[in-house]
């Protein structure tokens, strides 16, 4: 891992900038980056991405909160669903094959890209 320290830090920098700039989940950048650049298996990349996103999200929320750019009511309401969804997502991660996870991730990225492109 020492040989890749600049690459690892650069991946983190890119994910931090894009997640705070655009509100995209850092996992959209981190999971493929860890898989293809660092050769980390997808299930480990997903768990590691979630651990990395926590401090990034805290800093991003703090700064956006200072600027008045956080809708706390929407945050609370959506969080009620995301907490349950996170639990179910980890369970699915455990029972689905690596190949199925990879396909789901690719489809998600393609659908998101098309929707963003079309506006």
pLDDT in tens, 13-57: 888 888 778 877 778 889 999 999 999 999 999 999 999 888 888
Banded pLDDT at 84 (limits 50, 70, 90): very high
Angle at 112 between CA 15 and CA 30, to 5 degrees: 20
Prediction pTM value: 0.78
**What's the structural domain count of the chain?**
1
pLDDT tier at 80, thresholds 50, 70, 90: very high
Q: How confident is the model at residue 1 (pLDDT cuts 50, 70, 90)?
A: low
Contact in structure between 7 and 14 (CB atoms under 8 Å): no
pLDDT tops 60 at residue 3: no
Kindly report, residue by residue over 86-95, the tens digit of the pLDDT. Answer: 999 999 999 9
Q: Which domain holds residue 44?
A: 2-118
Question: Where residue 2 falls among pLDDT bands split at 50, 70, 90?
Answer: low
Sign of the dihedral through C-alpha 22, 25, 28, 31? positive
């Amino acid at each position: 891992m020492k040989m890749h320290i600049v690459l690892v830090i650069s991946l983190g920098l890119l994910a931090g900038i894009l997640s705070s700039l655009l509100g995209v989940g850092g996992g959209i950048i981190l999971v493929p980056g860890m898989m293809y650049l660092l050769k980390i298996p997808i299930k480990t990349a997903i768990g590691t991405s979630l651990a990395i996103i926590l401090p990034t999200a805290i800093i991003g929320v703090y700064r956006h909160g200072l600027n008045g750019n956080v809708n706390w009511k929407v945050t609370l309401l959506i969080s009620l669903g995301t907490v349950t969804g996170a639990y179910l997502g980890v369970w699915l991660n455990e029972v689905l094959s690596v190949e199925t996870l990879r396909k789901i991730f690719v489809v998600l990225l393609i659908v998101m890209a098309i929707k963003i492109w079309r506006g």
